Structure 1
Amino acid sequence: MKFKFSLESLLRLRLQLEEQKEIEYGQILQKLQEAKERLHHIEEEQKKSFEHWREKVERQGTVSLWKEYQPYLQKVKRELEESQRCCSKLEIEVENKRQDLLEAVRQRKTIESLKEKDFEAFQKEVQRQEQKVVDELVTFQYYNRQI
């Protein structure tokens, strides 16, 4: 007698879904990491630019430099803000994908738990049938000795 789980195809489907969710989660984590690296790069660029501008102003002492650097500094500031918004959105997406993955894991574990219970019931039934065969053999041997 061989064990056959009636929901095996559903379990395989849940496993595939979980693997897909793991991939999606990994991809969005990668995007978040890249966005954070970009943000860090922009922050560093902003610091260096501001420091460079400040040194020039100290050396030359003119306000015209402010007018020169103002558009560039504004551009870097906008890039920084956009990068921060991007990171915030990605963090929300990461959390959503994490929740999706956790739900997929929960669903798979539920089906696996049912499979384990079915297997235990199968093993008990096999043991019961084996015991029944043994009992019948013992009874048969007992009656054969009596005759």
Structure 2
Amino acid sequence: MKKFNFTLQSLLDIRLRKEDEIKLMLAKKINQIQQSFAIQNEIHDKLRDLQETEKKRRKETENVSLLKASVAYRFKLKADLIEIVRKIDTLKNEADNIRAKLTEATKQRRAIEILKENKFSEWKKEQNDLEQKFIDDISQQSFIRKTRQL
């Protein structure tokens, strides 16, 4: 019985590697998105803390220089927040593009795998037919020998 040989195996291997590379790219992009969300949460926390401390400080004293500094800091935090939100949107769009590439790569790989499965089924059927023919020949020869001996 000969071994199954799929002639497009090297193409399938290339497509598998390409799909794995795209999966890695997507994982990196998702990691970047998560890091950006963490930064966004930090900025939100800083803004909330600033507002709470400003409420307390305004009740206690009215220092103009501190007020100017806190306003400038709040504007900086809000600008940082806007920037990180834009970055997150950009990263999400890039991740969507990578997902589309991954879907296409998966389709291409799956097409070759279906071909391989069909070829394997054909090969297995041929092997079973050959094996059955061999068994039939042996049975026939055995029957002929037995009938000659009688």
What is the TM-score with the length of structure 1 in the denominator?
Answer: 0.86
The question of 1:38 aligning with 2:50 is answered: no
Residue 112 of structure 1 corresponds to which residue in structure 2?
113
Residue 95 of structure 1 corresponds to which residue in structure 2?
96
Residue 59 of structure 1 corresponds to which residue in structure 2?
60
Structure 1 residue 66: Cα displacement: 3.5
- Between 55-64 and 3-12, report the one with greater CA deviation: 55-64
SS at match of 2:7: coil
Residue 18 of structure 2 corresponds to which residue in structure 1?
17
Once the two structures are superposed, residues 16-61 of structure 1 have per-residue CA deviations (whole angstroms, 9 ceiling, x without a partner) of 1111111111111111110000010011011111221222122224
- Between 124-133 and 24-33, report the one with greater CA deviation: 124-133
Structure 1 residue 128: Cα displacement: 1.9
User: Retained in 2: the 8 A contact 1:57–1:65?
Assistant: no
Separation (CA, whole Å) in 2 of partners of 1:134 and 1:72: 88
- Between 118-127 and 50-59, report the one with greater CA deviation: 50-59
SS at match of 1:4: coil
Give the letter for the 1:101 counterpart.
L
Structure 1 residue 92: Cα displacement: 1.5
- Between 128-137 and 37-46, report the one with greater CA deviation: 128-137
Unaligned 5+ segments in structure 1 are: none
* Moved >6 Å (runs of 4+): none
Give the letter for the 2:133 counterpart.
K
The root-mean-square deviation of aligned C-alpha atoms, in Å, is 2.2
Give the letter for the 2:95 counterpart.
V
Cα distance change of structure 1 residues 143 and 72 upon mapping to structure 2, 3 Å threshold: same
Separation (CA, whole Å) in 1 of partners of 2:14 and 2:81: 43
Separation (CA, whole Å) in 1 of partners of 2:106 and 2:129: 34
Residue 51 of structure 2 corresponds to which residue in structure 1?
50
Structure 1 residue 141: Cα displacement: 5.2
Equivalent pairs, count: 147
Unaligned 5+ segments in structure 2 are: none
SS at match of 2:6: coil
Once the two structures are superposed, residues 81-136 of structure 1 have per-residue CA deviations (whole angstroms, 9 ceiling, x without a partner) of 10111111111222222222232222222211111110000011112222333344
Give the letter for the 2:107 counterpart.
R
